[in-house]
Amino acid sequence: MAQLEVEDVIVRFGGHVAVDDVSVRADAGRITGLIGPNGAGKTTLFNVITGLLTPNAGRVKLDDRDITKLPPYKRARRGIARTFQRLELFSVLTVRENIAVAAETRRSWAHDGAHKASSIDAIIERIGLQDCADERVDSLPTGQARLVELGRSLASRPSVLLLDEPASGQTESETQRFADLLRELSHEGMTVLVVEHDMQLVMSVCDTICVLDFGRIIATGTPEEIRTNDAVLAAYLGTKKVGA
């Protein structure tokens, strides 16, 4: 059974159909990629999943329960966390403080000790930012700031993690460490759905890839199936195989 399911979702902005009858499933313990050209509807779909947008049609299910009408905070409490294409951080706070805010927010309703300093330190170590834990986020390069956003998401202890272009701004070595972390999270049972333009990363970590073009799913399959799909090559990847 899929932990997260998007079924027949349609989103219109006036006369423009941004997401057109899209269905996507993401399984626990697996990494699902969502790729496609700019404007294909990827972030819009994320906004539907997290409750920032209400679809004109279709539904979103989590653990086989319909959550389409739930507000974002209730979805977060049920285990959905996300990062954003444009960084959404408390820029004047430190790395540690950003993560602590998320942990404290969870503590306020979960009452399970997630705010403890040891838990925050463990997240900082996991994302590899021990050396800059007490630096303000606005002093960090973009690649590290994206890791802070990931750490803040992890502080909410999600079961489903949505990542919107998380490797943007990362160096090659940072992207490699990030790929290793994604694999660790999925091996621990987390459901990961990632929007990303770094095809080397997508092809190396994803178990399943869904391709959007003009708001519609044009292909779903394994990395090998996607990199050799004629429709995907024509719409997005070009004429050469990617990530082989």
Question: One-letter amino acid identity for 187?
Answer: H
Compute the CA torsion angle 187, 192, 195, 199 (nearest 10 deg).
10
Confirm if 163 and 150 have CB atoms less than 8 A apart: yes
- Position 109 pLDDT exceeds 50: yes
pTM for this entry: 0.89
Average pLDDT over residues 49-63: 97
Task: Give the whole-angstrom CA distance, residue 173 versus residue 170.
Answer: 8
Pick the CATH number of 1-79+158-244 from 3.90.1150.10, 3.50.50.60, 3.40.50.1370, 3.40.50.300: 3.40.50.300
- Count other Cβ atoms within 10 Å, centred on residue 226: 27
Tokens of 178: 């990030």
pLDDT tens readout for residues 79-104 = 999 999 888 899 999 999 999 999 99
Domain boundaries, the chain: 1-79+158-244, 89-157
pLDDT above 90 covers what percent of the chain? 84
The alpha-carbon radius of gyration of the chain (Å, integer) is 18
pLDDT tens readout for residues 147-171 = 999 999 999 999 999 999 999 889 9
